[in-house]
Amino acid sequence: MSDAPAPVDDAQEPTNEHQAAEAAIESVKALHCEWKRYETDPSPGYCAHCEKDGDLIPWPCPTMIALGQAERAAGGSSG
């Protein structure tokens, strides 16, 4: 037998796309995490990634709010 190309299985699991989307969301979450100027800062934190006109953006940033809404829409009613 020569090295013939492996047959392409067309019946991929439908969860692959979902898993890829979740992996992308996790990557975004890793960037957009809550950050404080100092540990005892009484004020709400800021997004560690976002800024607008050179200023920090209060946490949660619009990106995380949008993600939360997306996850809520995609996930079940549990939680």
Provide, rounded to whole angstroms, the least separation between the CB of residue 22 and Zn ion.
Answer: 18
Q: Is the distance from CB of 46 to CB of 34 less than 8 angstroms? A: yes
Site string for Zn ion, 21-50 (x = CB under 5 A): -----------x--------------x-xx
With binding defined as CB under 5 A, does residue 63 bind Zn ion? Answer: yes
Using CB under 5 A, count the residues that bind Zn ion: 6
Provide, rounded to whole angstroms, the least separation between the CB of residue 57 and Zn ion.
Answer: 6
| DSSP one-letter string for 27-75 | HHHHHS-EE-SSTT--S--EEEEEEETTEEEESSPHHHHHHHHHHHHHS
